[in-house]
A and B are shown apart, each in its own frame.
Chain A
């Protein structure tokens, strides 16, 4: 009773007492597994080697499956804002959500969400929101640039086709992060149905995205906005989210344009309103480095060449690094020029000021340094050219380190020469520099930079620009220069940039200094005048040999000595010297204790160190000679550090080598490369960095494209995304693509060869004509890129719009697709193995073309075409490996090249008028054409159904050769089938005609024999009956006899049994008494 009551109580954990102590101890010690192994070794023993191998194998499989191919991490230090695309069917609450999120992050209200909205969401994160409307064009474009997709689902309605279409688009173009958001949850009155719907939607969403994908619930609206707490939570999720790099995005630069300006000359616009426009597009560069002057594709517009790229100061910068947790009000920036927010907008050559009611003060504060300039620009109303010139001048005077008082600028108007006074710190003199203004206008940026540089370099300052007469450079300071030129080390700093200029040719050294240099630098500066030398080389021999310097005389000892250390026999660096290495080894492994003898062997370092003072080690504290100089101390310290580092490295490698796999090595290599990438250009200024690497992602750039169609500007709608996708080298070409395609199972129609199809491939959307087998004509895109096909992009249809998806397999410039062609002929004359065949060709010429071709009959007899016959036309002689029959059909298998339709028709949806952007229609399919024109197909007579008439079949008799018949066994011999042939005459019986007497005799005999037969028959019948009776009798007797015998036997056995029993009984009783 007592126990039962206790059982129902909950388990009470002991908090004190021996048991609790024990448990505590166990927890503290931790190594439970080891203990269990020790305590119960049998449980961990190997039961089956096979099982063990299997589990091990499986464990390894699972482990390796988790590995991804390591890639170099190329994300920049200051990444571009994350693109968040808000997708969903209409009236689901997209704009409301964006508005709420923006309000959550920046405390600002946006009424109309037009174009991308960039905000600063945290210390290290910026976000760009973009709303995706229901047009399939924008869905495709945005899926390619999205980092995160907020997929809004109306819970009261359930999933809509748009959602699935978008998911499918995402799958093809690399899967960005997808987060579901359920709205309209307040439509449910019943809590149970709400829960059920949530669960159903969640599971369906999981199957589409991945198991466990995040689905957010926005329960209801308060004053037309979502609940604050829920939005805050969503915002928190967004701001801590991590992203996986997508292949296409990381290998191509792209920009989601957030501002567009038309730069076309207004005069030109007035005269020709339809002229091509020069447009500058602005946005954050994402993906990878963008090279200047590359090719870009703007989805919905087409391919273009960038005429210029610059980077601008970030309009929405991340806050400066300060140690605090939250952003203050000033740092919560919002930038959305298309939506009319963002305040002051800077351009390369203009400033746009939008003055909203609030925030004005703050924005102006930020831009203080340039406001003066802005003001002056606004006031002066100068032309563009003048502005350009002005900006250059300002750059010059603003160059750092150069004392503005030392640099005075005069514009030498005559001859286009400009003179400039430069203070030379080395010679302590004022120098005049000659600058060619005419040249400068061409390459303004470069030249200016060069000049700035040269002011710093402390030596011969003659800078001659192409076309400048050397005699102009006859200056006073030249004499002093030549003296100095003899000092080699002075050129030290100068060499590098000059070499750069030399190669890339924007500054040319003066002729007089060239000779000295050449002798000095050992042929380093061979080509000194790119302009001139280029022409010389135009006709020079094109050869990669580098002729040796004549001045080097390898007979001389000093020359030989100059390369002594290049050989292993020469002197080594101190760090790698054999002696040093040996010593190090000794330090590492020198001290050891001989365990057997107990003797301690000390490394000999101590003595050695004493011997060479300079290399003495810090380990030896008892070192007596401490009187080293101060700089020696420094050297030693460095040495020590170096040594420590090396020791550590060695230890690390030894320690890690144990379980380092190939994968780890690869990862480490990638890590190193990423570090190097970051470090290499880190300390350079952006201007020069851009030259080496291109524009790096995260920069706010301005692209200028000079020939955009005017519709792009006139029909611009900020609700549609403008994406500028950079194209890799040779991705601008057109060729043939071979793709693996799969029709979507939800798409209802069938896809037909030569029916135009709209593909979304790479950045592009275009219409093309596929040829299923397989090949296709379209712009070249790297293999492995996914694509998506739709049949039309216009309008909204109830059905699923995505027709097919697939992947690019191969690309080529020319492709030969062939059709199989069988030519059929019939033999009309058969010799042994040769026969004449007609009906395959029409002329002798055709036959001549196919001479030697192999042919075959249906039954598989192979042959060859030999020669044409004169008649009938097209007949030929052929030989076969066996004799043909007249009924054989001969055929020739051949291939017929197919011409592939070439169509590349980019979908120019962005050029359509506002409001009709989703109505682009390209080439129509044959079916559509017929439908539109009301053409009905006249079916081929051959394809019509006709009543089937079957001719009676006639079988020829089977003929078995006589030889074969002889060999057959008797039962298989065709006895019955043998027709009744003629009986040979000798076997034929002659018919007998009887005499009347004979006839009588025969008659009598017949009568007698009939009687006899009857009698005989009767007798036989009687005999049978008798015999039957006899047999019956006999059986009866037999039965009686058996019965008797059975009885007798029964009796006998009974007696015997009794006897046996008696015997047994008596034997049980004991000894027989009297028998």
Chain B
């Protein structure tokens, strides 16, 4: 199965892996060989996770031939490239983790929180409940923070192995019952956390009294190499769905510094935006949920999402290309007198009936 075209190599690769797919792909990069550091790093991580995969990259870095082997798992240690945060790597691990041969225990070192990627805190609070719905529970996260650009954080991610994934019917998110959050600060004044919390609460208190935002100030060895602060907010609904938003301070020496009050306020607004979008899975985990639906048993799975993000749309195309699975997409418009945010999208699909073939039969 040859596949050219370009882009989103990461996703593509991930997908490939997951299917343990076929042979090969030549991912043609559009012409920017210089941005390859973190991608090369990512491929190296994949190489560590698999057994029998071959990777060939041509000299200009525009063609990648990747032949995935079996997912092996086990204990893996990896130093991530500080250009991208650990979340970038973790997203892939979350998708691959349940389909390994042996339970995964990955230690990733690098930047835990930055602006571009979903932070580790966010993944911990939202991706894990999503996976739990699919019958994959028992993952663990152990975090030592390290802010961009220096990094120095460490995440230990453990994930059990599953033979099959359960189909889900997530059509009703329920109402939001509580909001939790973590305001973290490293190598800055511990007061920052409190300032963030206060401003965020100011906005969120209009809706709900049950708000608790932890302040997490880290010192010494646990605080990484660079100063910074940020906020992760998670809204939990009655049916156990999690919507989240996050914001980090701009990395030291890059761009304008941001005030903690502004950050708190903006982050709260981001959460409101996320709530406006709604759905049973928040926007950054849409692709994870869709993938697990695709890999489920040959049964109908349904999930209600907010509007599809561009990343998800791209992802859906990859799913179609690799698994020949198309989702039935139905838009649910809110009723006129309803005050429940914007349009929702109901995604329905029949799983491919994937079973973890690398797991050993005892």
Which residue numbers of A lie inside 8 Å of B, CB to CB?
A: 72, 74, 251, 288-289, 291-294, 492, 495-496, 499-500, 502-505, 521-524, 526-527, 530, 533-535, 537-546, 548-549, 552, 554, 559-572, 673, 676-677, 680-681, 691-694, 728-733, 735, 780, 782-784, 807-814
Q: Which residues of B contact A535 (CB under 8 A)?
A: 30
Q: Which residues of A contact B357 (CB under 8 A)?
A: 730-731, 780, 782-783, 811
Task: Tell me the smallest distance from the CB of A516 to a CB of chain B, in Å.
Answer: 15
**Is the pair B339, A544 in contact by a Cβ cutoff of 8 Å?**
no
Q: Which residues of B contact A288 (CB under 8 A)?
A: 298, 353
**Is the pair A499, B338 in contact by a Cβ cutoff of 8 Å?**
no
Stretch at the interface among B73-81, B136-144, B254-262, B267-275: B267-275
Residue of A nearest to B207 (CB): A567
- Whether A544 touches B175, Cβ cut-off 8 Å, given contacts A72-B299, A732-B22, is no
Of A504, A562, A568, A810, the residue contacting B316 (CB under 8 A) is A504
**Is the pair B276, A563 in contact by a Cβ cutoff of 8 Å?**
yes
**Is the pair A500, B329 in contact by a Cβ cutoff of 8 Å?**
yes
**Is the pair B30, A552 in contact by a Cβ cutoff of 8 Å?**
no
Task: Tell me the smallest distance from the CB of A737 to a CB of chain B, in Å.
Answer: 11
Bound complex: CA A813 to CA B355 (Å): 17
Bound complex: CA A559 to CA B207 (Å): 13
- Whether A522 touches B7, Cβ cut-off 8 Å, given contacts A680-B348, A729-B323, A811-B70, is no
The listed residue with most A CB atoms (<10 A of its CB), out of B50, B269, B287, is B269
Q: Which residues of A contact B169 (CB under 8 A)?
A: 676
**Is the pair A568, B175 in contact by a Cβ cutoff of 8 Å?**
yes
**Is the pair B317, A504 in contact by a Cβ cutoff of 8 Å?**
yes
Task: Tell me the smallest distance from the CB of A704 to a CB of chain B, in Å.
Answer: 16
Residue of B nearest to A732 (CB): B22
Main secondary structure of the interface of B (DSSP, over half): loop
Q: Which residues of B contact A729 (CB under 8 A)?
A: 19-21, 323, 352, 354
**B212 interfacial by beta-carbon distance below 8 Å:** no
**Is the pair B177, A568 in contact by a Cβ cutoff of 8 Å?**
yes
Stretch at the interface among B8-16, B151-159, B188-196, B226-234: B8-16
**B238 interfacial by beta-carbon distance below 8 Å:** yes
Bound complex: CA A780 to CA B70 (Å): 10
Task: Tell me the smallest distance from the CB of B139 to a CB of chain A, in Å.
Answer: 18
Task: Tell me the smallest distance from the CB of B358 to a CB of chain A, in Å.
Answer: 7
**Is the pair A735, B317 in contact by a Cβ cutoff of 8 Å?**
no
**Is the pair B299, A676 in contact by a Cβ cutoff of 8 Å?**
yes
**Is the pair A293, B353 in contact by a Cβ cutoff of 8 Å?**
no
**Is the pair B343, A522 in contact by a Cβ cutoff of 8 Å?**
yes
- Whether A563 touches B272, Cβ cut-off 8 Å, given contacts A527-B310, A691-B326, is yes
Residue of A nearest to B354 (CB): A729
**B116 interfacial by beta-carbon distance below 8 Å:** yes
Bound complex: CA A543 to CA B350 (Å): 27
Of B118, B209, B341, the residue contacting A563 (CB under 8 A) is B341
Residue of A nearest to B30 (CB): A538
- Whether A783 touches B359, Cβ cut-off 8 Å, given contacts A568-B176, A568-B238, is yes
**B40 interfacial by beta-carbon distance below 8 Å:** no
**Is the pair B298, A524 in contact by a Cβ cutoff of 8 Å?**
no
**Is the pair A676, B300 in contact by a Cβ cutoff of 8 Å?**
yes
Q: Which residues of B contact A808 (CB under 8 A)?
A: 361
Question: What are 18 inter-chain pairs, A to B, with CB distance below 8 A?
Answer: A74-B298, A291-B325, A495-B331, A524-B343, A534-B5, A537-B310, A537-B314, A544-B91, A549-B273, A552-B276, A554-B269, A565-B175, A566-B340, A571-B339, A673-B167, A681-B300, A729-B20, A813-B70
Bound complex: CA A733 to CA B53 (Å): 12
Q: Which residues of A contact B209 (CB under 8 A)?
A: 569
**Is the pair A541, B116 in contact by a Cβ cutoff of 8 Å?**
yes
**Is the pair A692, B328 in contact by a Cβ cutoff of 8 Å?**
yes
Of B8, B277, B284, B340, the residue contacting A542 (CB under 8 A) is B8
Bound complex: CA A534 to CA B352 (Å): 26
Q: Which residues of B contact A72 (CB under 8 A)?
A: 297, 299
**Is the pair A548, B116 in contact by a Cβ cutoff of 8 Å?**
no
**B309 interfacial by beta-carbon distance below 8 Å:** yes
Residue of B nearest to A740 (CB): B361
Within B129-173, which residues are at the interface with A (CB < 8 Å)? 167, 169
**Is the pair B30, A291 in contact by a Cβ cutoff of 8 Å?**
no
Bound complex: CA A1072 to CA B53 (Å): 128
Main secondary structure of the interface of A (DSSP, over half): loop
The listed residue with most B CB atoms (<10 A of its CB), out of A521, A524, A567, is A567
Q: Which residues of B contact A291 (CB under 8 A)?
A: 323-325, 352
- Whether A692 touches B349, Cβ cut-off 8 Å, given contacts A680-B300, A811-B357, is yes
**B3 interfacial by beta-carbon distance below 8 Å:** no
**Is the pair B275, A730 in contact by a Cβ cutoff of 8 Å?**
no
Q: Which residues of A contact B30 (CB under 8 A)?
A: 535, 538-539
20 additional contacts (CB under 8 A) given A291-B323, A542-B10, A563-B275: A499-B308, A500-B329, A504-B316, A527-B310, A533-B310, A537-B7, A539-B31, A539-B32, A544-B286, A545-B118, A545-B284, A546-B277, A554-B272, A560-B272, A563-B339, A567-B175, A673-B299, A783-B361, A809-B360, A814-B69
**Is the pair B331, A499 in contact by a Cβ cutoff of 8 Å?**
yes
Bound complex: CA A1070 to CA B55 (Å): 131
Bound complex: CA A790 to CA B9 (Å): 45
**Is the pair A811, B358 in contact by a Cβ cutoff of 8 Å?**
yes
- Whether A730 touches B22, Cβ cut-off 8 Å, given contacts A541-B116, A542-B10, A564-B207, is yes
Q: Which residues of B contact A564 (CB under 8 A)?
A: 207, 339
**Is the pair A809, B361 in contact by a Cβ cutoff of 8 Å?**
yes
Q: Which residues of B contact A499 (CB under 8 A)?
A: 308, 329, 331, 345
Interface mask (B189-231 → A, CB under 8 Å = 1, otherwise 0): 0000000000000010011110000000000000000000000
Q: Which residues of B contact A728 (CB under 8 A)?
A: 352-355
Task: Tell me the smallest distance from the CB of B69 to a CB of chain A, in Å.
Answer: 4
Bound complex: CA A500 to CA B347 (Å): 10
Q: Which residues of B contact A559 (CB under 8 A)?
A: 272
Interface mask (B292-336 → A, CB under 8 Å = 1, otherwise 0): 000001111000000111111110110010011111111101000
Per CB-CB distance, the 8 closest pairs between chain A and chain B, nearest first, are A813-B52, A546-B309, A546-B283, A813-B69, A783-B361, A291-B324, A522-B342, A538-B7
Q: Which residues of B contact A521 (CB under 8 A)?
A: 307, 342-343
Residue of A nearest to B23 (CB): A733
- Whether A523 touches B307, Cβ cut-off 8 Å, given contacts A538-B30, A565-B339, A730-B20, is yes
Q: Which residues of B contact A530 (CB under 8 A)?
A: 317
Task: Tell me the smallest distance from the CB of A24 to a CB of chain B, in Å.
Answer: 54
- Whether A524 touches B307, Cβ cut-off 8 Å, given contacts A566-B278, A733-B20, is yes
Task: Tell me the smallest distance from the CB of A81 to a CB of chain B, in Å.
Answer: 21
**Is the pair A542, B22 in contact by a Cβ cutoff of 8 Å?**
no
Bound complex: CA A627 to CA B342 (Å): 39
Bound complex: CA A807 to CA B362 (Å): 11
Bound complex: CA A524 to CA B334 (Å): 14
Q: Which residues of A contact B206 (CB under 8 A)?
A: 560
Within B22-67, which residues are at the interface with A (CB < 8 Å)? 22, 29-32, 50-53
Residue of A nearest to B53 (CB): A813
